[in-house]
Amino acid sequence: MLRFTAENLQPILSAHRLDTAGLLPLSACRITQGYLLARAGLSANEGSVLMLALPYTMPDTADEADRNISRYAVPCDYHHIAKDLLGRLIEELRRDWPGANFAAFADHSPIDERHAAAAAGLGMLGDHGLIITPHYASYVFLAEIITDLPTDAQPQIPQTCSHCGACRAACPVGLDKARCLSALTQKKGELSPDEQIALREGGLAWGCDRCQEVCPHARHAAPTPLAAFRQDRLYRLTAAEIEAMDDQTFSRRAYAWRGRAVILRNLRLLEKE
Q: How far is the CB of 139 from ligand SF4 (least distance, A)?
A: 13
Spell out the residues 6+ positions from residue 258 whose beta carbon is closer than 8 angstroms to its own: 186, 188
> Measured between alpha carbons, how far is 120 from 105 in angstroms, rounded to an integer?
16
Binding site for ligand SF4 (CB under 6 A): 126-128, 161-167, 171-173, 175, 180-182, 208, 210-211, 214-217
**Between 52 and 215, CB nearer to ligand SF4:** 215
Q: Which DSSP string do the residues of 183-237 spell out, in sequence order? A: HHHT--SPPPHHHHHHHHHH--SS---HHHHTSGGGGGPPPP--HHHHSS---S-
Q: How far is the CB of 52 from ligand SF4 (least distance, A)?
A: 21
Q: How far is the CB of 164 from ligand SF4 (least distance, A)?
A: 3
CB neighbourhood size of 103 (10 A) = 19
CB neighbourhood size of 74 (10 A) = 24
Active-site position among 60, 63, 84, 107: 107
Helix (H, G, I), strand (E, B), or coil: what is residue 91? Answer: helix
Report the Cα–Cα distance between both ends of the chain, in Å, rounded: 66
Q: How far is the CB of 131 from ligand SF4 (least distance, A)?
A: 10
> Measured between alpha carbons, how far is 1 from 270 in angstroms, rounded to an integer?
58
CA distances from 45 to 39, 83, 101, 167, 209 (A): 15, 25, 14, 37, 37
**Between 128 and 265, CB nearer to ligand SF4:** 128
Q: How far is the CB of 168 from ligand SF4 (least distance, A)?
A: 7
Q: Look up 127 and say whether it is catalytic.
A: no
**Between 96 and 195, CB nearer to ligand SF4:** 195
**Between 43 and 162, CB nearer to ligand SF4:** 162
**Between 217 and 265, CB nearer to ligand SF4:** 217
> Measured between alpha carbons, how far is 32 from 10 in angstroms, rounded to an integer?
28
Q: Which DSSP string do the residues of 223-262 spell out, in sequence order? A: PP--HHHHSS---S--HHHHHHS-HHHHHTBGGGGG-HHH
Q: How far is the CB of 230 from ligand SF4 (least distance, A)?
A: 24
**Between 51 and 215, CB nearer to ligand SF4:** 215
Count CA atoms within 13 Å of residue 217 on its CB side: 26
Q: Which active-site residues does the annotation give?
A: 107
